[in-house]
């Protein structure tokens, strides 16, 4: 736990956070960081065994944890996740829309099934989850929503066009929902660049050591934590509809 955890601006004591894709990668780091700062956490992903393992880690930190299996592109599954979360905790104060995928396929070979799957997980599902939770937050004491996007939404990348396009839609959704559900609900985008998560195991060695950004390297997963805490906590009380880049200083072109 870093020193800023003692700062009251980053105190999440008594809060309930729901994190999709929370059983591995950046979502896993966010779950543990929230728990370390006092939040109870709903950990949601398609792999319930991984969710249960992370839930045990949260409990060892003295916080409550609810592991949930969910297909984050299916609206009926999302509605079930929301119902389960509210039945367990009575509210959600922080929502992190983190689940996503980005298979690399030449655009002319993308099937309708793959297109629907990618757009469903990266935009359709997050839209449903964000809007339903935002309405509940708005009708009660407010809350915070963080949509996890990607640098792929801000720069041209070949062979992941459906993914980049869905994440660009997510960025636009953030701004619109911030306007629709403010001032009680703050909605912001967290935009990571290359990180050494599970997916990086398939990268060539040089890509794991170097990156085309100002820092010259990919990020370690724990380096997402400070930005996520900023957006989730009172430290960002005047930040709404914003896009926070955590990409090591990538040169974003159009």
Q: Which residues are catalytic?
A: 163
Q: Which of 53, 144, 139, 51 is nearest to 97 (CA)?
A: 144
- Distance of alpha carbon 138 from alpha carbon 230, whole angstroms: 21
Question: Is 167 in contact with 155 (CB distance < 8 Å)?
Answer: no
125-164 per-residue burial string, b: 16 or more CB within 10 A, e: under 16: bbbbbbebbbebbbeeeebbbbbbbbbbbbbeeeebbbbb
Q: Assign residue 168 a region (left: φ > 0; alpha: ψ between -120 and 50; beta: otherwise).
A: alpha
Is 216 buried (19+), middle (13-18) or exposed (0-12) by CB count in 10 A? exposed
């Amino acid at each position: 736990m870093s020193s800023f955890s003692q700062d009251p601006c980053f105190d999440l004591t008594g809060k309930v956070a729901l994190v999709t894709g929370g059983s591995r990668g950046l979502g896993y780091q966010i779950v543990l960081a929230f728990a370390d700062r006092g939040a109870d956490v709903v950990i949601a992903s398609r792999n319930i065994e991984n969710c249960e393992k992370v839930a045990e880690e949260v409990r060892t930190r003295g916080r409550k944890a609810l592991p949930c299996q969910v297909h984050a592109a299916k609206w009926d599954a999302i509605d079930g996740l929301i119902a389960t979360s509210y039945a367990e905790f009575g509210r959600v104060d922080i929502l992190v829309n983190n689940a996503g995928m980005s298979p690399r396929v030449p655009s002319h070979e993308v099937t309708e099934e793959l297109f629907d799957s990618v757009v469903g997980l990266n935009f359709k599902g997050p839209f449903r989850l964000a809007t339903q939770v935002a309405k509940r937050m708005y009708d009660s004491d407010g809350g915070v929503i963080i949509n996890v996007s990607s640098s792929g939404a801000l720069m041209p990348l070949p062979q992941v066009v459906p993914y980049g396009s869905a994440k660009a839609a997510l960025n636009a959704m953030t701004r619109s929902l911030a306007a629709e559900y403010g001032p009680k609900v703050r909605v912001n985008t967290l935009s990571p660049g290359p990180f050494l998560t599970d997916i990086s195991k398939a990268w060539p060695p040089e890509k794991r050591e170097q990156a085309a950004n100002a820092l010259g390297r990919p990020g370690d997963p724990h380096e997402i934590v400070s930005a996520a805490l900023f957006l989730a906590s009172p430290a960002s009380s005047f930040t709404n509809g914003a896009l926070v880049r955590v990409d090591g200083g990538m040169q974003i072109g159009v």
